[in-house]
Amino acid sequence: MAEAEKVIRGIKFGILSPEMIRKISVTAIVTPEVYDENGIPVEGGVMDPRLGVIEPGQRCATCGNTLAQCPGHFGHLELAKPIIHVGFVRHVYMLLKTTCHACNRVKIPEKDLERYRELYRKLKDRWPQLANSLVEFVRQKAAKALECPHCGARQYKIILEKPATFIEEGGRGKLYPDVIKQWLSNIPNTDLEVLGLDPEVARPEWMIVNVLPIPPIAVRPSIVLETGMRAEDDLTHKLVDIIRTNEKLKEAINSGAPEIIVEDLWELLQYHVMTYIDNELPGIPPAKRRSGMPLKTLAQRLRGKEGRFRGNLSGKRVDFSARTVISPDPNLDINEVGVPYEVAMTLTVPEYVTPWNLDRMREYVLNGPYRWPGANYVIDPSGRRLDLRYVKDLKALAESLKPGYIVERHLINGDIVLFNRQPSLHKMSIMAHRVRVLPGKTFRLHLAVCPPYNADFDGDEMNLHVPQTLEARAEAEELLLVEKHILSPRYGGPIIGGIQDYISGGYLLTLKSTLLTKEQVADLLATIDYSGEIPEPAILSPIEAWSGKQILSLLLPEDFNFMGETKLSSGNLKCTSEECFWDTFLVVKRGKVLEGVVDKTVIGSQQPKSLMHYLIVEYGDRFGAEFMNKAFKLFLRYIEMVGFTMTLDNVELRDKALAEAWEYVQNSYKEVEKLIELYNSGQLEPVPGRTLAETLEIRILDVLAKARDEGGSMALKYMGLTNSVYVMARTGARGSNLNIIQMAVLLGQQSVRGERIWRGYRGRVLAHFKYGDLSPKARGFVEGSFRKGLTPIEVFFHAAGGREGLVDTAVRTSQSGYMQRRLINALQDLYVGYDLTVRSAYGELVQFKYGEDGVDPRKTSFGKAVDVDRIIVKNVGWRMTP
Amino acid sequence: MSTRSEKISHKILEHEYVPKHELLSKEEAIKVLKELGVRPEQLPWIRASDPVARLLGAKPGDIVRVIRKSPTAGVSIAYRFVVVG
Ligand SMILES: [Mg+2]
Ligand SMILES: [Zn+2]
Ligand SMILES: [Zn+2]
């Protein structure tokens, strides 16, 4: 029988009425007993067989279905006394405040009430927000009334004692749930409307429960331990507690026990029902298991990161995915990802058999599930799924393959997959790669894509997902492929680009002094499969030699012009024009590198307005990706040819250099002494808004910071220009001058919260110092370097300073993580329409033009839509002298 | 539901940080809504009690055009739907 397709228009939430709970219920639960002495569930207990099938093969006592079919059935428990539902305490409080204790009407004069009701009905559908503020207004107005406008009764103040006790100050005192229930049930429907309640589905007296629904067993299955013991679900435990207390309470009432006993039991029942609903209520001790673990009750199942919403509905575990450690492979393309055979033989892609791929598909089936490239499943035209692990005659199956079959084949080279590294903070955290199946057990990626994923190889793991439909694959390839994300919308510049050895290599190759023999040129060009002409050698005699700049020029488009400072152009090597003695100004005219070297500001990742950036903007993503593939291979090949390494000797400075630095530091010490003397004699001039002691600290910190930077820099001047460590720092490949100073000269002042370290003993950090010693060394100035080593006291100071950094990052990540979550939740449904307006999923206008100007930041130069300077250089740069 | 009716100074309209507001005529309003393809309440809102709205004499149901100076776009135009409050 064909049924008409039903469409869900919306969901309306309400409160279950006691009648409804009884109607839904298949049995009343009457006893706290769960199993009898034979281990059979007791009828009328919380494991009553009528609540649903537990064991496979059984038939349901209620619906007659087997385990797979039976949906489970609710029971119900009649409570001896009503209980306030914790989830509705706030609503009950509002209702008690806004309605009269005598006549139970909302405390608004009849004619106003009529007006508000009319207005509310009008607003409700069209202006939900306004309706809400009307309700809020009515509530406030009603709560303020000192006298009932209907019956004239004086109104008392209602106090809510957390979590669920209501007190009528000056009136009846503590309001018991049965009194409240009576009160709430007297409020007329028409009065409830203006208070924002829909009495049809949410009568307020239903917020006080006197019948408790008992959820089906399927919701709280018991686990059978290997010892044969039964372990019940937390909810079952809690239900037993409730039933037991309820029995006791019933008994106490029936036997006419003293009021205080009844009241205590009632209170206890209230506690059990509350913690059954939510076991993390503020001010209530959580119900615990025997092991001391708090019970996971209803609210705990839904709430939080692992809860039903965030853990099972917003995000869930998926098939066709893999996760393993990542490692680098400079021989891959930037678009590729290396996938282990093991993974490639587990993940599959469904491919339709056609006359054109029939032979290939037969090959896969013949190879079977254990030989790559094979297949794991075949789906025949009738939809039957054949597991190739259990197909005896693969040959026969391969023969029978014809169009209409679907082969779930292994992952092969060229397949499109999504690759992801957490935390997925921006869109470049998930990109599409082409598969390259490789031996080994790790995923491999090109080093240039480390920055967008923020990946390194100290044990990082990444996830891989295989799109299963043609649409998904096409979409991934067109929108998510790595090369389409070289330019980042974060700052209109390439986020994918040269790092570390690519930069060192580029620098060494393009040095003025780099001359290559014909053999070397051939070697270099062979690594990138270059097949064009070799240019005229730059040096003809005594032997033919080529410059590195010539080699790099082979990869540049013939009409490309570029001029710009390199990272090296600073200090006494500064150059701002073509006339540059130091070769630190890069000039490319008509595709030829005429002068300048390649370093971080030329090919580096996250460097806007660089040569790399303009190559990509002007020649496209495809060209950019291909340029990177080739240039980076070239740079690495060259760095391999000349050798590039770092040793302890690289941070060893000659005595003269250290002496110079040391002298500077000594002078700073004297300056500090002078400041301390001034301070002690009361002659120190305080900084506005600071105490004298604070002023002294600030001044000392200034002097000592300068001591390290200036003194260190003086020593750095003695480093050889070919020193690998120095080369890396200057070209931006890795490390900074500060890092070198700390390795070779001194660590300098250690600080905690921007102050010199002072915490510890009274008036001194360690027992090694005199009381009140303000000298540099007593407050964390470290004279040692990483090469020379640190004294034990210096190690302590360094550890104290270093710890702050660790704490900071830990705090920052958790805070930014939460901020990210809130932002995403707020923005996830917004979209930019074809008219460039930004709208919400409900059609509300958020922006009249995306970003006010409708500009895609990815396609701008640093936020500006048009970069006139670049346009000039691009077109006539070849005859310009900047 | 405030019914305050103190006078507000027209000077606020001259302030650097108060963008230019214009009250749309019925015809203009209909045209704008049609162009954007939205119902009036789907526009961003402005309260009738907003000082600028009061100076314009905007009543709930009206639509106001806001012309802003923008560092990126030069001039950006937005519309607001006047609501009670
Ligand atoms: Mg790591
Ligand atoms: Zn059943
Ligand atoms: Zn009354």
Query: If you search the block for the tokens 């346009």, which residue do you land on?
Result: A871
What is the pLDDT confidence band of residue A456, given thresholds at 50, 70 and 90? very high
Residues A627-660: b if buried by 16+ CB within 10 A, e if exposed:
bbbbbbbbbbbbbeeeebeeeeebbebeeebbeb
Tally of structural domains, chain B: 1
Residue B4 has pLDDT above 60, yes or no: no
Residue B6 has pLDDT above 80, yes or no: no
Number of helices and strands (H, E) in chain A?
25, 31
- B-chain residues near A851 (CB < 8 A): 72-73
Q: What three-state secondary structure class fits A203?
A: coil
Asked if residues A88 and A130 have their Cβ atoms less than 8 Å apart, the reply is: no
Provide the domain limits for residue B78.
4-83
Nearest residue to A436 (alpha-carbon basis) of A420, A465, A416: A416
- The residues, ordered by sequence, that sit 6+ positions from A712 with a Cβ below 8 Å of its Cβ are A661, A737, A738, A740, A741, A745, A746, A748
Please state the rounded mean pLDDT for residues A512-536: 91
Residue A1 has pLDDT above 70, yes or no: no
Both structure tokens of A704? 């000592």
How far is the CA of A644 from the CAs of A64, A197, A507, in angstroms? 77, 75, 12
DSSP3 helix / strand / coil % (chain A, rounded to 5): 40, 15, 40
Query: If you search the block for the tokens 């062979």, which residue do you land on?
Result: A526
**CA distance linking residue B79 with residue A162, whole number of Å:** 46
Helices A737-744/A692-716 angle, 10° precision = 90
Asked if residues A351 and A406 have their Cβ atoms less than 8 Å apart, the reply is: yes
Residue B1 has pLDDT above 70, yes or no: no
What number of CA atoms fall less than 13 Å from residue A231's CA on the CB side? 8
CB contact under 8 A, B76 and A853: yes
Both structure tokens of A777? 């060394």
- The residues, ordered by sequence, that sit 6+ positions from A219 with a Cβ below 8 Å of its Cβ are A72, A235
Q: Indicate the average pLDDT of chain A.
A: 90
Please state the rounded mean pLDDT for residues A220-248: 89
Identity of residue A697:
E
CB contact under 8 A, B44 and A845: yes
What is the pLDDT confidence band of residue A695, given thresholds at 50, 70 and 90? confident
**CA distance linking residue A189 with residue A108, whole number of Å:** 15
For B12-33, the pLDDT digits (tens) are 888 889 999 999 999 999 999 9
pLDDT at B2: 45
Residue A861 has pLDDT above 80, yes or no: no
**CA distance linking residue A65 with residue A46, whole number of Å:** 20
Q: Let me know how long chain B is.
A: 85
> Exposed, middle or buried, A173 (CB in 10 Å: 0-12/13-18/19+)?
exposed
Whether pTM > 0.90 for this model: the answer is: no
Which residue of A137, A845, A849 is in closest CB contact with B38?
A: A845
Ligand nearest to the CA of A100: 3
pLDDT at A571: 78
* Residue A853 backbone phi and psi in degrees, to 5: -115, -5
Separation of CA A266 and ligand 3 centre (Å): 29
CB contact under 8 A, A853 and B1: no
Separation of CA A14 and ligand 3 centre (Å): 28
Q: Strand runs (DSSP E) across A50-202, as ranges?
A: 75-84, 157-161, 165-169, 173-175
- The residues, ordered by sequence, that sit 6+ positions from A305 with a Cβ below 8 Å of its Cβ are A311
A495: left (phi over 0), alpha (psi -120 to 50) or beta: alpha
How far is the CA of A384 from the CAs of A152, A381, A387, A404, in angstroms? 77, 7, 10, 12
Q: What three-state secondary structure class fits A718?
A: coil
CB contact under 8 A, B42 and A843: yes
CA-based R_g, chain B, Å: 13
Residue A371 has pLDDT above 90, yes or no: yes
Mutate to test the interface with B, among A122, A852, A866 (most CBs of B within 10 A): A852
For A384-401, the pLDDT digits (tens) are 999 999 999 999 999 999
Asked if residues A120 and A139 have their Cβ atoms less than 8 Å apart, the reply is: no
CB contact under 8 A, A845 and B41: no
CATH code: domain of residue B75? 3.90.940.20
* Residue A100 backbone phi and psi in degrees, to 5: -80, 140
Q: Strand runs (DSSP E) across B6-62, as ranges?
A: 20-23, 45-47
CB contact under 8 A, A845 and B1: no
Identity of residue B37:
G
**CA distance linking residue A827 with residue A808, whole number of Å:** 28
Mutate to test the interface with A, among B35, B41, B47 (most CBs of A within 10 A): B41
Asked if residues A568 and A599 have their Cβ atoms less than 8 Å apart, the reply is: yes
Nearest residue to A597 (alpha-carbon basis) of A586, A608, A588, A607: A586
CB contact under 8 A, A844 and B42: yes
Separation of CA A475 and ligand 3 centre (Å): 66
What is the pLDDT confidence band of residue A853, given thresholds at 50, 70 and 90? confident
pLDDT at A694: 87
What's the CA dihedral at A782, A786, A789, A790 to 10 degrees?
30
**CA distance linking residue A342 with residue A171, whole number of Å:** 76
Separation of CA A71 and ligand 2 centre (Å): 6
pLDDT at A238: 92
Please state the rounded mean pLDDT for residues A133-137: 92
Please state the rounded mean pLDDT for residues A821-832: 91
With the C-alpha atoms ordered A551, A554, A559, A561, is the resulting torsion angle positive or negative? negative
**CA distance linking residue A208 with residue A847, whole number of Å:** 46
For B29-78, the pLDDT digits (tens) are 999 999 999 999 899 999 999 999 999 999 999 999 999 998 888 899 99
Residue A255 has pLDDT above 70, yes or no: yes
Nearest residue to A733 (alpha-carbon basis) of A597, A551, A872, A542: A597
Please state the rounded mean pLDDT for residues A842-870: 83
CB contact under 8 A, B36 and A845: yes
Closest residue in A to B85 (Cα–Cα)? A130
Would you call the peptide bond into A177 cis, given omega within 30 degrees of 0 as the criterion? no
Asked if residues A506 and A514 have their Cβ atoms less than 8 Å apart, the reply is: no
Residues of A numbered 819-838 whose beta carbons fall under 8 angstroms of chain B's beta carbons: which are they? 835, 837
Residues with CB under 5 A from ligand 3 (ion): A 100, 102-103, 148, 150-151, 153
CB contact under 8 A, A849 and B76: yes
- B-chain residues near A130 (CB < 8 A): 83-85
Please state the rounded mean pLDDT for residues A822-831: 91
> In terms of DSSP H, where are the helices of A717-828?
724-731, 737-744, 792-827
Would you call the peptide bond into A381 cis, given omega within 30 degrees of 0 as the criterion? no
Both structure tokens of B6? 């103190």
Please state the rounded mean pLDDT for residues A703-725: 88
Please state the rounded mean pLDDT for residues A532-556: 90
* Residue A187 backbone phi and psi in degrees, to 5: -70, 125
Residue A863 has pLDDT above 90, yes or no: no
- The residues, ordered by sequence, that sit 6+ positions from B31 with a Cβ below 8 Å of its Cβ are none
Asked if residues A787 and A745 have their Cβ atoms less than 8 Å apart, the reply is: no
- The residues, ordered by sequence, that sit 6+ positions from A773 with a Cβ below 8 Å of its Cβ are A763, A764, A779
> Exposed, middle or buried, A428 (CB in 10 Å: 0-12/13-18/19+)?
buried
- C-alpha angle B72/B77/B79, rounded to 5°? 140
Identity of residue A178:
D
Nearest residue to A44 (alpha-carbon basis) of A514, A229, A36: A36
Which residue of A843, A852, A855 is in closest CB contact with B38?
A: A843
Nearest residue to A499 (alpha-carbon basis) of A744, A721, A334: A334
Separation of CA A460 and ligand 1 centre (Å): 5
**CA distance linking residue A121 with residue A190, whole number of Å:** 11
